[in-house]
Chain A
Amino acid sequence: MSTTNTTVIAITLKFEYALPSTVGVPFSGIIDDPDQNTTTLIDSL
């Protein structure tokens, strides 16, 4: 294996909903962009 490329690919990932301060119910956020949810994104490839 070659040495790790020193170039860092930086991305920003947004959690759409504010994180719950106290968790009483399992919490599922959604994708950062409503127009690009996982299903749509993959199916459109």
Chain B
Amino acid sequence: MLHNEITVYRFEDKTFEVSCIDADNAPIDFSSGFDNIGIFVYNADRSTLAKYSRKITAGWKSIDTSNQATGKLSFIIDSDTLKLAPLGKKFIEVIIRKTSAIVSDSKYDSITSQYLFTLKQSISSITVIP
């Protein structure tokens, strides 16, 4: 499957909305039954560009869960993050952990991943608009 390329330029702030669906293509209701959700945006060399958590935790950015009951999770990649990021393709990985997990070392219950966007440099992006 080929994804259409999504371009994001350096120094942009972008909001992403991820619609999570299950194997039956039904939206996943995150409003109950889930201990935490983690979103990772990573570079082609697998280094992490930004990471997000539904729980407010030091070192993690927040996930907007306003529409989590319909499986929609939103997060922002800000210009401070993108201005130093390597150019090229970025990927997203989402991990979820259910509250019913009974195995102590269960870091997550399910995980999925895919291409997210391509970061590009523009000629004018370092210019301050008067």
Contact = CB atoms under 8 A, between A and B. Distances in A.
Interface of A: 1-33, 35-38, 41-42, 45
B98 A19 contact: yes
B13 A26 contact: no
Nearest to A43: B44
Contacts of B93: 38
Interface in B1-56: 1, 6, 8, 11-25, 28, 44-46
B79 A9 contact: no
Contacts of B108: 26-28
Contacts of A6: 15
A9 B1 CA distance: 19
- Chain B contact-residue range equals 35 or more
Contacts of B45: 42
B109 A7 contact: no
Contacts of B96: 15, 19
B17 A8 contact: yes
9 contacts: A4-B15, A6-B15, A11-B114, A15-B96, A24-B102, A28-B108, A28-B110, A29-B112, A42-B91
Nearest to B15: A8
Nearest to B78: A1
Shortest beta-carbon contacts, A-B, top 7: A29-B110, A4-B13, A26-B106, A27-B109, A12-B19, A10-B17, A18-B23
Given A9-B17, A22-B100, A36-B1, A15 B28 contact: yes
Contacts of B12: 2, 5
B69 interface: no
A11 B96 CA distance: 17
